[in-house]
Structure 1
Amino acid sequence: MPHATPKDLMLAAAAALLAALLLEPRLVPGTAGQIVGSFLPWLLAPTVLLAAVAVGTGSKIGTAAVVPPIAAWSVLFVPQLVERPDTATTTPAFRVATQNLGTAGTAAELTDAAVISVQELTDRNRPSVAAALDPRHPHVATVGTIGLWSRYPLHDIERLDLGQGWARALRARIELPAGEATVYAVHLGSIRLGETAARDRTLHTLTDLVRRDPSTRLLVLGDLNTASTDPALTPLTQTLHDVRTGLAFTWPAPFPLTNPDHILTRGFTPLDATVRRTPGTDHRAPTATLAPTPHPPR
């Protein structure tokens, strides 16, 4: 075994840290750990850099040490990059989308979707959003800054306060061609450096509602202010399927680094999924084509 130099030990320690963070980002306490979890795929960059340094300096110990973080990253993310949706279905498919409108988004680029959830709907952008979506989506539900536009009838529309003190979410029953489903349009609490209490509280409430919801077909569309790789989201994604293709980053729009915007499903088969760049907002919009499963389990 080669003699370990200080350089070897530093490389090995850095590699061990990267592997540990990839496998368990909650090792970093508080908000910092959640930030690491939200940007977890980007740990590939320091991992590759570390490997280059180890190989370039001829450190056999460093080169061997970088194998675990590379393996951990591959196990976590390569399946997402190569996964292809199931295209076999016997039920009518439809397209859904979710868009954080920002200050000037209109969702006009999403009119091919049959069901569209929007967040940050305001008096300023509401007229342009309605003008873009109303002609092809006659069924509309709005609660505060949340909007839901649909080509299919909406019933039993319910305002939801997820723990913010005001309603920033709604639940509705939707009549799809293949049968009824429940849809949640949501915008969870904001997350700021050193402050995740509002997001955590609203995420916990939403997770509890979904777990207790008896619907066999269910959609959650919206800005959850947390990424798929954040362990905070795990209790919800244990109940629902996170529909994405690849890493599907949505924020910030010019150069996305993480994915706070989600399409989550139960009782549906995803046929495709993508992320679209739309003007006037700092969020890209996830979209997906879904087919209701003929006999969804509960």
Structure 2
Amino acid sequence: MLKKGVVVVSAVVAAGLAGHRFIPVLGGFTPVLESVLPWIGLLVPVLLLAAFATRSAAAAVAALVPGVVWAAMFGSALMRTPPGGPSDLAVGTVNVGVRNNASGEAVRAIAADLDLLAAQELTPGGPAAKQLNKMFKHRYPVSTVGLWSRYPIVDKRPLDVGMGWPRALRAVVSTPKGKVTVYVMHLASARPGHTASRDASLTQARKLVDADRSERILLLGDLNTATTDRGMRGLTPPLTDAQEVAGDGFGFTWPAEFPITRPDHILFRGMTATEAGVAPATGSDHRAAIASLRLQ
């Protein structure tokens, strides 16, 4: 009985990993599952132990199958070496936490070596905004999101990503090596049974990117979805995820105490990522995503 159970569960796990995008959206369960997809690999050693207990070679082989699938999907994240090399732009994004009284301290530590910082869940005139205003010459806050820059912001406008009010922005930053179009977004939250608004805001984000003919695009923000979520299709590509090409590990950012997923993203086009990672954000339930980019 145990042998049969190991074989069946192994087959289900392997199929779920490889074919997760074909699973119907079941009341919002599927997006949550896809957001924590790498953690399903923890079932593999459990299955191997169960297979060992059966003393069955067939069960052991079956238990290895989801391990092979997991390695094919996520092994590169653990073995990746950031390309490094010269960079022209250091950027970051952080959800500072709307109830975070230490948000000023959080952004001070994160932004010290950055050229651009995007922030979400800002309180207008709050600790984070005040601290960033001291550190950066150029800024563009819109409602609860904002962009701070060491270089001039030559064009800017608020955006509605399908939520009925501006929780995103578009700004053109003039760097020493040319202009970069920057989007800062905080998309709708995704909770089991309540994903329609998140999906609608993702659709709007894709429309904005598709319509933008800028040579260089940088999208920073809390998108409330992981790279493994099918909702990211249409954004990656045409944009590239900095963590996926230049990060060391998975780059999980939420929840801060023990991150299990990455809703915070740095996506780009027309540049090359040289490094990517995460940084602590004092008092926030998110960690910050950071990256270095070389302008092409």
Conservation of the 8 A alpha-carbon contact between 1:271 and 1:290: yes
**What's the counterpart of residue 41 of structure 1?**
38
Conservation of the 8 A alpha-carbon contact between 1:267 and 1:292: yes
Aligned counterparts of 2:220 and 2:293: Cα–Cα separation in 1: 13
Conservation of the 8 A alpha-carbon contact between 2:123 and 2:129: no
Aligned counterparts of 2:165 and 2:126: Cα–Cα separation in 1: 23
Q: Which 10-residue stretch deviates more, 76-85 or 185-194? A: 76-85
1:179: how far off? 0.3
1:232: how far off? 1.2
**What's the counterpart of residue 260 of structure 1?**
263
Aligned amino acid, residue 271 of structure 2: F
**What's the counterpart of residue 247 of structure 1?**
250
1:61: how far off? 1.9
Q: Which 10-residue stretch deviates more, 19-28 or 202-211? A: 19-28
Aligned counterparts of 1:261 and 1:127: Cα–Cα separation in 2: 21
1:284: how far off? 0.3
1:87: how far off? 2.6
Aligned amino acid, residue 100 of structure 1: N
For 1:41, what is the secondary structure of its paired residue?
helix
1:130: how far off? 2.8
Which of 18, 25, 28 matches 1:29?
25
Aligned amino acid, residue 119 of structure 2: V
Conservation of the 8 A alpha-carbon contact between 2:173 and 2:180: yes
Conservation of the 8 A alpha-carbon contact between 2:224 and 2:263: yes
**What's the counterpart of residue 8 of structure 2?**
13
- Counterparts of 1:95-114 in structure 2, within 5 Å, are 95-102=90-97, 103-104=99-100, 105-106=103-104, 107-111=107-111, 112-114=113-115
1:275 partnered with 2:275: no
**What's the counterpart of residue 164 of structure 1?**
163
- Counterparts of 1:41-60 in structure 2, within 5 Å, are 41-60=38-57
TM-score using structure 1 length: 0.92
1:191: how far off? 1.1
**What's the counterpart of residue 121 of structure 2?**
120
Conservation of the 8 A alpha-carbon contact between 1:169 and 1:185: yes
For 2:163, what is the secondary structure of its paired residue?
coil
Q: Which 10-residue stretch deviates more, 105-114 or 194-203? A: 105-114
Deviation readout 1:13-39 (Å, 9 max, x if unpaired)? 101111111112231533111111000
- Counterparts of 1:164-243 in structure 2, within 5 Å, are 164-243=163-242
1:132 partnered with 2:131: yes
Unaligned runs of 5+ in 1: 1-5, 294-298
1:265: how far off? 0.7
Conservation of the 8 A alpha-carbon contact between 1:221 and 1:263: yes
For 2:126, what is the secondary structure of its paired residue?
helix
1:29–1:130 Cα change, 3 Å: closer
Aligned counterparts of 1:147 and 1:13: Cα–Cα separation in 2: 50
Q: Percent identity?
A: 39
Q: How many residues align?
A: 284
For 2:165, what is the secondary structure of its paired residue?
coil
- Counterparts of 1:85-104 in structure 2, within 5 Å, are 85-89=82-86, 93-102=88-97, 103-104=99-100
**What's the counterpart of residue 3 of structure 1?**
none
Conservation of the 8 A alpha-carbon contact between 1:241 and 1:265: yes
Deviation readout 1:190-224 (Å, 9 max, x if unpaired)? 11121101110000110121122101111000000
1:131: how far off? 3.1
Aligned amino acid, residue 109 of structure 2: E
Conservation of the 8 A alpha-carbon contact between 1:25 and 1:34: no
